[in-house]
Structure 1
Amino acid sequence: MLNVQRLLLPDTNQSPLHILAGVKIADRLGETSNTLEVIFLVPAKASLTSGALHEALGSTVHNSLVKGKPVTLPSGAQMRCETMKTLQWVTKPSVIIAVFASQDMMDKVDALQNLVAVVAVPWTPDAIEDWNKTWSPQVLGKPKKVGTSAQAATKLIDDPVVEQAMKSLTSVANLATNVLHPSDEDLAKRILRILRSRDHGEPAENIKLWAIRNGWLPKAAERLETLAEKAFALRAKPKLDNPVHAEQSYQRWADAAGS
């Protein structure tokens, strides 16, 4: 999910017609990337059968999606509807439009494979604040400065030594699962304790967001957040097993960070 194109279509007036704009954008992204599958993701079946989406999509498209039938978009791509419950995996390259997007929905999207692009359409501006901070998506409708093509990525970890330590962990951890392997968890604990022993710290939430941006699945990143919160909250510097090896590790991170 690291090379996925991500776009945010903020809904400032909660208009159902805003959803239709999102569909058009997803269709255009599918056309430019030669992707023939678009997934219309809603929170639940009730989100689709309520009146707002009927108005936005029109009777023909809406009725097909309610019946579980795909519809053909102008580009030729097939768009099908999924809910948070029914969408388990994506088997071929697809564009996904996250309708009434919440942070839980975007966490689910971040865990999917085979996505070419994501169009997020939250119902309220702050509904997916963490996702925005993690990925710095292109905000549609937002004026661009001359000479820029996308929103600059937010720096998630301010301390360069902490960032190098997280890169070291990421390089060896198994990122293919939402559950940290016990050996990876033990290594994470050790790295975080080494950092705390040298008076380094970072908001644990930033550690989680950084991890997701760098290939961790959301649940595993949440576990790393918990470990970071515990380690950095220690009042006293922790004692370390094999202090010589810990010092060597720390020096590698510090050297890489230019400290």
Structure 2
Amino acid sequence: MASLVAVVVAHDSAAVLPDCLAALAREHVPAIVVDNASRDASAAVAEAAGARVLRLSRNQGYGRANNAGVRAAAGAGHVLILNPDVTLRPGAADALLAAAVRYPEAGLYAPRIVEPDGRFFFQARSLLAPYLTNPGGRLVPPEGDACAPFLSGACLMVRRDLFLGLGGFDEEIFLFYEDDDLCRRIADAGLALVHVHGAEALHGRGASSTPQPGRIRRARWHLAWSRSYVARKYGLPDPALATFATNAGKAALALLGLRRDRIERYAGSAAGALAALRGKRALEREGVGEE
């Protein structure tokens, strides 16, 4: 039985997969790469690096693809879910596994995630934790291991049986807020979320997929839709109406100024919020049917 298996969801990620998979190999962590209908050589790159590859015929979204990978990791005690633009530093995997022994009351573990500019990411607040009084998002990063209300989905370690027992990532979400939702459910189950300071991972933020036309608009659509979905899921005020009103106005102004990048950003947010208000599902937009 492998104590730890990595699950990496790839979508047009051929440029970053070699470093990610090489780091996992150095850490002696076997990898399952779930190829989310890439249009590049992601699957071939993963196979050349020695990873097991699951090929999906259609882009199923981040959560569904990860769930497929975790299900395929039969026999693993823990799974390490990480983005293809994340590179583990030496000793990170062992540090995470040691933390699981040291903190058996925890359900989720994350390394210290270092961004390209050298800062390390730590989530100071979340929509799904209204009980946390940090309205300005004041950031005080920990200097050692610490319990956290939320952890970044860029790199997470969890017991496989716990993940599957909780239903994995919410498959209604195509993109965004899957990690916050999982963190909330693990916390609601009475388990701690632990930031493991001695485990380090480098994160090339935004480099998981190659840029494509319409990518910004699509991402903003899903961000607005998912934000509304998770708010309603947990009985929080639905931000969709305010998101639509604000971004529709900004899109109109951007159109007058012929600012294409801003048009995509604001129009995408407005469209996603409007879809949520109308009860549309994100999976419908992406043509993903019930399985």
Provide the TM-score with structure 1 as the length reference. Answer: 0.33
